[in-house]
């Protein structure tokens, strides 16, 4: 019996070790970006769209860059004339970019701004996600709200969320990062907590498998989170003052593309 118990204990430990994930650094881009906040993978075009906040508190100095999947710059000033550009979302041939108080709609084929949807009462729009029907959601970190854009019109979708940032639409669910907590809002706007105690100024979310996620904190943290609330720290570069802002993710190659805001670069990692 003792031998059996010891064997089972060893097996359990082995399974737990095997279930752990890690990151392998693949490349680091040059530092020609301008406070990059969000990286969005266009799987069809095989490029990254990278939002640049630009000089802080400067009107019209934000932009979106095109970066290759090898980290090489394709066009740094692809879209210009934006303000404090942060979250990015894509639906078909349109790119949606969060500014401080509006969401810019960009034609991907030309890189031109087609229109802007003003968000009344907004103060610091941050992350953007688009659901399968083309409905756009954008968070406002200062007012604690999630706004919804449908048929070109904006409305409040959720409110009273502290330090809200990252959003991810999956089917009829909306995943939300607020403070140190990872939430899910269902189609009826019912909020449930997925995980708590996530540090680093939560920023970006990507689903890597059903009910499994990568979560970044802009101060320099990356977590692997499961649906049962368990979490594993994959990276913590806060001590080196290296950021990990709103990531992009390639599910086919298991590659993370992580903006390093203050060093003006993108770092790619492989999830293992």
Cβ within 8 Å of residue 108, ≥6 positions away: 42, 45, 90, 93, 94, 95
Does 174 fall in a domain? yes
Total domains present in the chain: 1
**223 with 232: CB under 8 angstroms?**
yes
Find the CATH number of the domain harbouring 174: 2.120.10.30
The rounded distance, in Å, linking the Cα atoms of 244 and 263 is 11
**148 with 157: CB under 8 angstroms?**
yes
**Average pLDDT by consecutive 10-residue portion of the chain (272 residues)?**
46 51 98 98 97 90 98 98 97 97 98 97 97 97 98 97 97 97 97 97 97 97 95 98 98 98 98 98
User: Could you give the angle at the alpha carbon of 201 between the alpha carbons of 196 and 203, nearest 5°?
Assistant: 90
The rounded distance, in Å, linking the Cα atoms of 25 and 32 is 20
Does 18 fall in a domain? no
Which tokens sit at 100? 């401080």
Does 167 fall in a domain? yes
Residue in 131, 132, 149 with CA at minimum distance from that of residue 140:
149
Domain carrying residue 186: 23-271
CA 222 centroid distance within chain: 11
Does 2 fall in a domain? no
Does 107 fall in a domain? yes
Query: How many CB atoms sit inside 10 A of residue 199's CB?
Result: 14
Residue 88: the pLDDT is: 98
**In sequence order, which ranges of 89-183 are alpha helices (DSSP H)?**
none
Side-by-side strand order, sheet with 164-170: 164-170, 173-178, 181-185, 191-195
Does 1 fall in a domain? no
pTM, to two decimals: 0.92
The rounded distance, in Å, linking the Cα atoms of 216 and 236 is 10
Does 144 fall in a domain? yes
Does 3 fall in a domain? no
Cα 18 to Cα 23, 62, 111, 156, 231, distances in angstroms: 14, 43, 45, 44, 15
Specify the pairing of strand 164-170 against strand 221-226: unpaired
Residue 19: the pLDDT is: 66
């Amino acid at each position: 019996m003792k031998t059996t118990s010891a064997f089972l204990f060893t097996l359990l430990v082995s399974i737990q070790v095997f279930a752990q994930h890690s990151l392998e650094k693949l490349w680091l881009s040059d530092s020609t970006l301008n406070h990059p906040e969000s990286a969005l993978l266009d799987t069809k075009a095989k490029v990254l769209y990278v939002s640049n906040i630009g000089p802080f508190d400067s009107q019209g100095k934000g932009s979106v860059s095109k970066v290759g999947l090898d980290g090489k710059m394709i066009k740094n000033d692809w879209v210009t004339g934006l303000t404090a550009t942060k979250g990015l979302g894509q639906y078909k041939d349109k790119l949606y970019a969060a500014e401080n108080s509006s969401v810019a709609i960009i034609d991907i084929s030309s890189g031109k701004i087609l229109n802007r949807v003003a968000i009344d009462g907004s103060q610091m729009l941050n992350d953007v996600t688009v659901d399968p029907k083309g409905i756009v959601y954008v968070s406002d970190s200062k007012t604690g709200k999630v706004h919804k854009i449908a048929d070109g019109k904006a409305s409040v979708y959720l409110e009273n969320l502290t330090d809200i940032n990252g959003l991810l639409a999956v089917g009829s669910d909306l995943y939300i990062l607020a403070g140190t907590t990872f939430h899910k809002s269902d189609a009826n706007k019912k909020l449930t907590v997925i995980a708590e105690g996530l540090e680093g100024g939560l920023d970006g979310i990507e689903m890597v498998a059903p009910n499994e996620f990568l979560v970044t904190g802009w101060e320099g943290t990356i977590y692997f989170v499961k649906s049962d609330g368990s979490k594993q720290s994959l990276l913590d570069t806060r001590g080196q003052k290296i950021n990990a802002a709103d990531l992009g993710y390639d599910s086919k190659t298991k590659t993370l593309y992580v903006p390093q805001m203050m060093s003006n670069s993108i770092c790619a990692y492989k999830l293992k």
